[in-house]
Structure 1
Amino acid sequence: MSSKAKVLKGFTMLVGGRIGSALVSVLSTAILARLLSPNDFGLVSAALVVLALANVIFDGAFGVSLIKKQSVSVAEQRTTLTVAMLLSLVLIALIVLLSPQIGFFFRSESVGDLLYVAALTIPFKAVFAVSSATLQRDSRFGSIAVGSLVGQIFGNVLVAVPMALWGFGPWALVVGMVLAGAMEAAIVAFKAKISLRPELEKAAFRDLTSSALFSLANVMNWVANTGANAVVGRSMGFYDLGIYSRGWKLLDLVVGITATPLSRVLLPAFSSRRDDPLRLAASFRQAFHLAVPAYACMSVFLVVHAQLIVYAALGAKWDQTILVAQFFFAALVPRCAFKISENFAVAAGRSGAAVVRQFIYAALMVGGAVLGLSHGVSGVALMTSGAVTIFYIISIAFALRIGNISALPIFWIHCKAGILAAVIATADALLVWTFSEWPLILRHVVGGTGGAVVMLALLSAAPSFWLGPAGESYIPRIRQMIRKVNLVSIPKG
């Protein structure tokens, strides 16, 4: 199997698993959002501001250190897991020690109480990071997808929903999260055949510390992605934080389905070509050729149909989330496609510079959140979406410079994606407006169907123009999809 086919297969398997996990997450959230209040979600989101730090540390220092190696010995794997587990214990101790101060920052003792239990997920994150990195190296993406899916079902459906029905409030979310992490880690560790025997090999430990800069970059990314939550929770309260965090969560579902698998597949793919600059640059351009138009089209449908999405996923009482979600959805391209340029930089051996870029990203996000406070949660969403876009431009510019790649083709890719998105948005929104007197679901279905037909027709007419050289291979599939849509939409007789 060629490397291109292997990347595509791995991405497809991860996306499939992520879609399953996302469907479970949407189902559980749709139930929990109707049982719990925005204030409950805001409390848990405040606790997650701290807890998310564990994720980025383990993925950065431990996951990447294994993925980048050509081969990994048992001693290296055991050393990585041993250090990760020791660090997890240190993080738990720090959280327990600082929980009262964290509660004071958010003006609520409940946040500190929730953190005591939520911190139990940290060792499971450590096991998952090492296990999933091992599976990624072997291109066993399906096993990662299975672990995530089963974990979601167990924790967020079988545990969290009954607890919410029994009146446990935000504790339903926290306990469900902990058990979901435990199940996910157990399955992935079993699939990867991870040895749990402690070991500290000096050479392996030195290699592990070399990833510290990448981990520091991930910490800056954590500040960027959670800093706005801290600003909103501190300045506006848990109700507004619940509204804001649910809008971000809807965006994260799309990111988790597409961009996260893309990142997991691109890093080993780019790393395998780092000794061949021409092939690495070609892979970089091709990734943008396919990703940017795809995300632009998704962005259009999500923005136009945000009302239906929020009502279906959260319920009518969350209507304040609609505008927040629209601002986030509008920034889908930079929020997802930046992973291409960032993985390119890491594969090219420029992990250290990521610290500076992520610091800029964090400053932009926190600064944007502060500037947007005067206009409520929607203002914060608008300003942070702008911050994401600015960082995207910075990230691409850095990748182009280190790869000695011309900016014009990348700029032209974005221009074409913008034209495609504008045409689809016009058709979709016009249909929704035309049938505005119809029931909510029906008018959005009509608009979405019309927009999809326009999109498929444009892509089918000139696939190479919109999707680059690889676009020709999609012609038969696109035409088949159009025929299916026509058969469904045109009544017989």
Structure 2
Amino acid sequence: MAATPDSAPATIRMTPPLLWVYGCGAFGMLLQIGGTAILARILAPQSFGEIAVAAAVLRVAQHVANMGMTTALTREAGRIEAAARALILFSVGFSLLLAGLLWICAPMLLWLQPEATGSIPVLRALAFTPVLAACGQAAAALLQSRLDFRRLGLAQLAAQASGQIGVAIPLAILGAGTWSLVCGSLVQAAMLAALVLMFARPGWRGPLAVPADLLRLGFRYMLLRLLDVSGQSIPPLAITAMAGLAATGSFDRAFALSVMPLDWLATGLATVLFPIYARQTAQAENARLLLPSIALGGGVLFAVAIGMLMARDHLVLAVLGPQWHAATPLLGWLAAWGFLRGLVVLNGSLVEARSSLRFRSWQQAGYVVCLAGLLLLVRPSGADHIMMLLVAVEVVNVALLFWHAAHVAGLAALPLLRSLLAVFYPGLAVAVSLALVLPVTAAWPAATALGLCIGLSALALAGSLYWHPAPALRSLVRSLLRRPA
């Protein structure tokens, strides 16, 4: 009997979406790194600091505007078409109200840092980004629920290219300063909304009222996202208050080189796994999919983070330039934080897909409260001390979430521990390869040395995954490399 989409093996259903998510995402990261390399040589750290402060506030606002509906509709895939029109009208209206509130409250940034006057008009302009994103919210959920990551990935890639290459870089060359980044962000948000609407074509004949149960479910997911992004927004705001906008700019560029690639790797896998997890009913299937997928995702994340940590001098010099030397120590801490956050994303996708939202809410609330409390109690003197506290809190956060994800999937402690140990094997292979080559490349040009480090690390990572000693992980890797019939 032929396998139906829901009865087909989960690994087979993962393969095409993963290829599109990571294929488009890889091009997107190349655009991101290339754009960062160009803009870092044109704009001063102060400019990046001004937009980083505004972006930290905006990240929270965007998740409030989204109301958690993208995740809720992905989980309730069969109801997207009927609720599409109501959702778009509701989201756009709510986002306009939120933009007005941000416009009024923008001067409160001066309470954080008196020199942040340039961030006020930036925040007011970027306040309209959630409005643009709301237009494509239902369409993006529809593409994700269909596992149509080809169109979704191409839309994101085209939007990023138009915003960064088409707008931000030319305006920066013409001397627009911080506003080149603002205009690029607005164009990217508008283009993404237009493209996903064109690809998904959500229906426009549904009711005008969003179903109450969807709003309740979306509100619960919104609280989770809000707590999560609040933890991510605390570090740049704390650095701004304690060290100034220039230090925030260095943090922002180190963040773009470390946390953003790691977050892309984790989010790509979690985006594919979430609808698959949501459709699994048997604990045996959960266990069979959870362990190797988390071991694979965590192994890749750990290997990339180790590579960033060991080659951080070459990475900063080659991409940002010598004027950004203050970003070098931050990049190491951010690589560690990015790895831990990736584990949170991977485990959280299972917990949320299985509707275990109460624990996630309390866990994320505890994380934000502990982080903010430690910063107020210790009052660290610099950006690197802030990052040390951040990594320490994140370790505890990962341990709690990993234990609960295993409980949700019905796993015992021993197989869970084995899967956790499997995460570190690819990173050790990368560390050995870089330990051999870094002393040789110390006097080389930074770009040449970085290229060699990336090539050797990629070979070590690929080999360690293909011949991994864990049979389940090795089987998953080889099945992903086989093209399904």
Displacement of 1:54 in angstroms is 3.3
Which residue does the alignment assign to 1:393? 399
- Correspondence 1:291-310 to 2 at 5 A: 291-310=297-316
Equivalenced residue count is: 475
**Structure 1 stretches lacking a partner, 5+ long:** 478-493
Among 350, 353, 357, the alignment partner of 1:351 is 357
Q: Aligned equivalents of 1:350 and 1:448: distance in 2?
A: 39
**What does residue range 6-155 of structure 1 map to in structure 2 within 5 Å?**
6-58=13-65, 61-72=68-79, 74-107=81-114, 108-155=116-163
> 5+ residue gaps in structure 2?
none
SS in 2 for 1:35: coil
**Which residue is 1:281 aligned to?**
287
Give the whole-Å Cα distance in 2 for the aligned partners of 1:475 and 1:78. 40
CA distance in 2, matches of 1:315, 1:299: 21
Paired residue for 1:251, among 252, 258, 264? 258
Residue 473 of structure 1 deviates from its aligned partner by 4.6
CA distance in 2, matches of 1:416, 1:140: 31
Aligned twin of 1:184: 192
Please state how far the C-alpha of 1:279 moved relative to its aligned partner: 1.0
Q: 1: CA distance between counterparts of 2:141 and 2:256? A: 25
Q: Is the 8 A contact 2:426 2:460 kept in 1?
A: no
Q: Deviations over 1:178-230 (max 9, x none)?
A: 1111011111111111346795336x233222321221111111210001111
1:415, 1:94 → 2: CA distance?
47
Preserved CA contact (<8 Å) 1:373 1:379: no
Deviation larger for 181-190 or 3-12: 3-12
> Mean Cα displacement is larger for which, 147-156 or 446-455?
446-455
State which drifts further: 333-342 or 430-439.
430-439
The residue type equivalent to 2:405 in the other structure is A
Decide which of 153, 169, 174 is 1:166's aligned counterpart: 174
CA 1:407–1:160 in structure 2 vs 1: closer, same or farther (change >3 Å)? same
Secondary structure of residue in 2 paired with 1:189: helix
The CA RMSD measured in Å over matched residues stands at 2.5
Separation (CA, whole Å) in 1 of partners of 2:321 and 2:135: 36
Q: CA deviation at 1:267?
A: 0.9
Greater displacement, 262-271 / 303-312: 303-312
Q: Which amino acid aligns with 2:380?
A: S
Partner of 2:332: 326
* Deviation, structure 1 residue 13: 0.4
User: What amino acid does structure 1 have at the position aligned with 2:326?
Assistant: Q
Task: Indicate the residue corresponding to 1:416 in structure 2.
Answer: 422
| More deviation, 227-236/414-423 | 414-423
Per-residue deviation, 1:73: 5.5
- Asked whether the equivalents of residues 70 and 137 of structure 2 are also in contact (C-alpha less than 8 Å), the reply is yes
Pick which of 217-226 and 313-322 moved more: 313-322
User: Corresponding residue for 2:279?
Assistant: 272
Which residue, 424, 431, 441 being the options, matches 1:425?
431
Residues 183-262 of structure 1: pairs in structure 2 closer than 5 A: 183-195=191-203, 199-201=207-209, 204-262=211-269
Shift of 1:454: 4.6
Q: Which amino acid is the alignment partner of residue 287 of structure 1?
A: S
Contact 1:88–1:126 (8 Å) recurs in 2: yes
Contact 1:132–1:144 (CA<8 Å) still a contact in 2? yes
User: Does the CA contact (< 8 Å) of 1:344 and 1:399 recur in 2?
Assistant: yes
Q: Secondary structure at the match of 1:211?
A: helix
Which sits farther off after the overlay, 374-383 or 394-403? 374-383
The alpha carbon displacement at 1:117 in A equals 0.9
**Counterpart code for 1:201:** A
Distance change >3 Å, CA 369–CA 312, structure 1 → 2? farther
Compute the displacement of 1:373 (Å): 5.5
Alpha-carbon distance, 1:241 to partner: 0.7
* 8 A contact 1:78–1:198 mirrored in 2: yes
For 1:163, give the aligned amino acid.
L
Post-superposition shift, 1:415? 2.2
Comparing 56-65 with 163-172, which one deviates more in the overlay?
56-65
Counterpart contact for 2:316–2:325, Cα < 8 Å:
yes
CA contact (8 A) 1:155 1:179 kept: yes
CA distance, structure 1, for counterparts of residue 191 and residue 137 of structure 2? 14
Report deviation, 1:26: 1.6
Residue 77 to residue 373, structure 1, CA distance change in 2 (3 Å): same
1:154 is aligned with what amino acid?
Answer: S
Contact 2:302–2:339 (8 Å) recurs in 1:
yes
* Contact residue 92 and residue 120 of structure 1 kept, 8 A: yes
User: TM-score w.r.t. structure 2 length?
Assistant: 0.90
Deviations 1:467-491 (A, max 9, x none): 35435558999xxxxxxxxxxxxxx
Q: Is the 8 A contact 2:259 2:335 kept in 1?
A: no
Q: 1:341 aligns with which of 341, 347, 363?
A: 347
Provide the rounded CA distance (Å) in 1 between the counterparts of 2:360 and 2:38: 39
Q: TM-score, normalised by structure 1?
A: 0.89
Q: Which amino acid aligns with 1:310?
A: V
- Alpha-carbon distance, 1:311 to partner: 2.2
| Structure 1 residue ranges, 4+ long, deviating more than 6 angstroms after superposition | 474-477
The SS at the match of 1:437 is: coil
Conserved? CA contact 2:295–2:423, under 8 Å: no
> Cα offset for 1:253?
2.7
Distance, in Å, in 1 between the alignment partners of 2:231 and 2:101 is 21
Percent identity over paired residues:
20
Q: Summarize deviations over 1:137-164 as a string: whole Å, max 9, x none.
A: 1111111111111111111121111221
1:467-482 to 2 correspondences below 5 Å: 467-471=473-477, 473=479
In the superposition, relative to structure 1, how do residues 369 and 166 fare at CA in structure 2: closer, same or farther (>3 Å)? farther
